[in-house]
Structures are given as C-alpha cells and as structure tokens.
Chain A
Amino acid sequence: MTGKLMDLLRYGCSMAAAVGGRMLALNRGMGRWALFFADGLRHIFTWPWQGDKILQQIYFIGYKSMPIVLLTSAFTGMVLGLQGYYTLVKFGSEGMLGAAVALSIIREMGPVFTAIMVVARAGSAMAAEIGVMRISEQIDALETMDILPVRYLFSPRLAAALVSIPLLTAIFDVVGILGGYVTGSLLLGISPGTYFARVESSVELHDVFGGFLKAANFAIMVVTICCYHGFYTHLRSDGFGARGVGMSTTSAVVTSCVVVLIADYILTSFLI
C-alpha cells in the first residue's frame, strides 16, 4: 500500500517537474522574444539610419506580396458577395450586401488575411533565411565584424512590415469590396448604386482606423515571430542543421497564424 502511494507520489512529482520545466522554458522564450523585439524596435531609430535596407524589405514584403494579396482579396470579396446575397435575400435585405461585405472586410478579413498571406509568402522566407545564416555561422560572422545582428537583420524587416502590411491591408479592403460588387451587382443583379451607397453609409472612420490598428499590430507580431524563430534556430532542442531550419520555419508560420487569430479576437473585443 505504502509502495503504491510512493509510486503515485513520485509520478505526481515528475509530472509537476515536467509541467514546471515547460512553463519555465515558455517564460524564458517569452522574455527572449520581448527583448528581441525591443532591441529591434530601438535600432530602427539608431544612427546610421538603414534606409536602403528598409526600402529593400518594403520591396520584398510589400511589393512582392501584392499579387497574392490581390488574388486572395478579390476572391474573398467575391465569395462574401455570393454567400451574403443568398443569406440576405431570405430576409429581403439583399440591398444591405454592400454594408455586409465592406464591414466584414475592413474590420476583420482585410487585416487577418493580409497578415496570413504575408506570413506564408515573406515570413516563412525570413525565418528560413535567418535560420540558415545562424547555422552557417553568418550571424557569428556579423558579431565578429562588430555589426549588431539584430539591427542588421531584424530592424529593417520590422520597419518595412510596419509600412507594408497596413498598405497591403488597404489594398485588400478596396479589392475585396470590388470583388463583392462583381458577384453582388454584376452577377446577381443588385444595383451598383445601392451596393456602393450601403458601403459609403455603413463604413465609419472608426472601422477603418480599427482595421489599420490591427494591421500594424499583426505586422509587429508576425515579423518578430518569424525573425525570432530563425535567429534562435540554434537553441532548438528538436532539430539541428537543415532539419532545425525546417522546424523553425514551420514553427514561425504556425505560431504567427495562431497568434494573429488570437490577437484579432482580443483587439476586436476592445475595438467593438
């Protein structure tokens, strides 16, 4: 009896130790993440200003992501128009389609889908590139040259994302509303005047501001998470070398997407 009790106690203790270890590791990771972000943010403003690198990253994150954002926004707007029409028509309110599409896109889908598209296209590439630099000692080489790796690798990407993602969100919003117009008006016969009048009357500055606030927050989160995972590839316990870079890239993409959705809920709770 005593032996069984001791076994149970030992099992309980080892479980508690495992959970405690996990929590401590999570805590350390969060602390390192916060310091990484603070350091990167600070170095955006330190002299000499890295304008050329920021422009290069705006080109990579912003301009090169435009085709995928245009495509997803057009089809998101079109499918919203389609679904919205057949839902609203049941209540005889199909005239409200413009308002439904515009508010859904500006408040929620624009910032969230844009952030997820940037994660998929640019965030994964950042994590992989920085991860390869870590395992091939290129980041150590920067340190030996007295070049601050966080400033050189992360700060320009952070600044570029803060510019690019809100602008991409704006493009997503406009194209998405036009997509809703294509299905609602051109295919299903709602008057274009009614569609755009509802868009104009329902959308307030508060909605647009909320959407951009979300976009800026998502920009910070996704770029910091993706660069962080690449930068600390060497600290992973579940994979080394090329496998470690692969795992870091996967973690960066999955974590970014999950964090975007959680943050979206929290921000919406405050903005609504």
Chain B
Amino acid sequence: MTVMRTPLIQFDQVFKSFGGKSVLQGVDLEIFAGETTTIIGKSGIGKSVLLKHIIGLLAPDSGRVLFDGRPLAQMSGSQLRAIKTQCSYMFQNSALFDSLTVFENIALPLKERRLAKGAGLSARVRSTMAQLDIAEIENNYPAQLSGGMKKRVALARALVTEPSIVLFDEPTTGLDPVRKNAVHRMIAEHQHRFGFTGIMVSHEIPDVFHISQRIAMLEGGRIIFQGACRELQTSQHPAIRAFIDNTAVKERIA
C-alpha cells in the first residue's frame, strides 16, 4: 500500500517575471519534511528565484506557495514570522555583514531574536564555530577571509539557530574540490544530526546525489523532474540527459 505524504512546502503553478522576462513559468514542486531536496538546472535559469519564494524574499506574480498546506499569501504577518523563525538561508555570495567580525556575524540572529544571551550565546556560537573548524578566525572581518572560509561562516550563521528548514543557495560555488566535499559533508552531517529539511540549489552533480534524498530539475521555467536521485540518473528525458552528461564531461576534464 502506498502511503501518501503531505509536502511541507509546495509550489502550485508559480509564475514570476522580471521586467518582461519570464523566469518561472508554472512551477509545480513538492518538498518533504526531514529530507534534503536539491534543485538543479543550468546557470541563470531561476533556481535562486525559486528559493527566494520559499522564504518570502520574492512573491509570485501568480500561483501559490503553500507551507504545510496553507498558502503563504493568505497568512498573517505573525504566521509568516513564525515560519521565518524556523528557516535559515545561506546565500550564494555568503551575504556576511562586512562591518561585523565572524563571531558577531554568527551571533547576530541569536542576539537579535533573543534566542540566547551572555555566556550562553558565546558558548553556542563557539560550539558551532568549532564544528565548522573556524574557531581561530572569530575576530576576523569577512574581508579578511578566503571564499571557502566565508562559506563556512555563512553555514555557521545558518545553522547556529538550529532551524528546522535550511535553504542553501549554491553553497559550494567557487570552492576547490576538497573544500566542496567538506561543505557537502558538513551539510549532510548536520542534516543527519538535527534532521532539518534542506533545500539546496546547486549544479554540482554527481556530488549532490550523495547528500540529497530528492532532486528537482528546473528547465525552461518549469520543473521537468522531481523524484529520487536514482530515477533522475536513469531518466531518458533529453534535457536531463544533456545536463547530466555535460556536467559529467566537465567533471572528468576538471
């Protein structure tokens, strides 16, 4: 007997345009609780735009984004804030506060949302920093860090509040293969440990197959595939095959 699961987040015919350029053209997507779902697709196709709809940074022109079956557009301010408090977002360019030190960056969400204070706050920040191996740079400013370090600080800031939903916007872009694997491993470990729902935008295949339970592929403004990694790998859809094969060639050359 097949058990029907209710998605935690659902996109229902979502359309979004910018200045006459149509980016999302009827996206249908389901994201389930406790799993890591990775959205793959070519660069500039609208993956980050899709992600920003989940956290309310962008609103659809038409269609609905549902959270636990309820449309975000019909929720009150306090209901939306309650959802936001469950989420963390790791930006593609890290988006660290450049006038704050690494420690202050990681502590900011805890301090501003009054989740911890004093010694408890310091202990929690230092524990997260230790897990991500960035303890020695706590007094540095973002401008003094390498790209890989910035990514780890951004990851620490995203995880320090122990969110139940974490959105990763290309968390490994610009990293060398060793650092890339380290970040993927950290995400997988934290997901396993805390059981959060991970939603990741990436084009790092096949790497993301190892840390994702589900894959969705965005092509031409629509989701042309969503399902298990194994199903994607065996799919004969021409666009999917072209994407996987091209990426595999690039990986081999690299």
Contacts and interface: CB of A to CB of B under 8 A. Distances in A.
Interface residues of B, number: 24
Given A138-B96, A144-B89, A146-B81, 18 more contacts: A48-B114, A129-B99, A132-B98, A133-B97, A136-B93, A136-B98, A141-B89, A141-B95, A143-B56, A144-B55, A144-B167, A145-B109, A145-B113, A146-B84, A146-B113, A147-B108, A147-B112, A152-B112
Interface of A: 48, 129, 132-133, 136-138, 140-141, 143-147, 152
B109 A138 contact: no
A145 B81 CA distance: 10
Contacts of B81: 146
Contacts of B119: none
A140 B87 CA distance: 13
Closest 7 CB pairs of A and B: A144-B89, A141-B95, A137-B95, A146-B84, A145-B109, A147-B112, A146-B85
Given A143-B57, A144-B57, A137 B93 contact: yes
B209 interface: no
Interface string B66-99: 0000000000000001001101110101011111
Contacts of A143: 55-57, 84
A147 B113 contact: yes
Given A144-B89, A145-B108, A146-B81, A138 B57 contact: no
Nearest to B113: A146
Interface of B: 52, 55-57, 81, 84-85, 87-89, 91, 93, 95-99, 108-109, 112-114, 161, 167
Contacts of B161: 145
B69 to A, nearest CB: 22
B109 A147 contact: yes
A152 B113 CA distance: 12
29 contacts: A129-B99, A133-B97, A136-B93, A136-B98, A137-B91, A137-B93, A137-B95, A138-B95, A138-B98, A140-B57, A140-B91, A140-B95, A141-B89, A141-B91, A141-B95, A141-B97, A143-B55, A143-B84, A144-B84, A144-B88, A144-B167, A145-B88, A145-B113, A146-B81, A146-B84, A146-B85, A146-B109, A147-B108, A152-B112
B200 to A, nearest CB: 15
B86 to A, nearest CB: 9
A147 B111 CA distance: 10
B75 to A, nearest CB: 14
B108 to A, nearest CB: 7
Contact of B97 (A48, A138, A144): A138
Please report whether the interface of chain A is mostly helix, strand, loop or mixed according to DSSP.
helix
A132 B114 CA distance: 26
Nearest to B55: A144
Contacts of B97: 133, 138, 141
A129 B56 CA distance: 24
Contacts of A145: 88, 108-109, 112-113, 161
Contacts of B113: 145-147
Contacts of B91: 137, 140-141
A48 B56 CA distance: 24
Contacts of A48: 114
Contacts of A146: 81, 84-85, 109, 113
Contacts of A144: 55, 57, 84, 87-89, 167
Nearest to B105: A141
A143 B167 CA distance: 14
A147 B112 CA distance: 7
B151 to A, nearest CB: 14
A48 B89 CA distance: 24
A143 B83 CA distance: 12
Nearest to A139: B95
A133 B91 CA distance: 14
A65 to B, nearest CB: 19
Contacts of A138: 95-98
B95 A136 contact: yes
Candidate in B87, B95, B113, B161 with the most chain A CB atoms within 10 angstroms: B95
Contacts of A136: 93, 95, 98
A133 B96 CA distance: 9
Contacts of A129: 99
Nearest to A144: B89
A34 B17 CA distance: 28
A138 B56 CA distance: 15
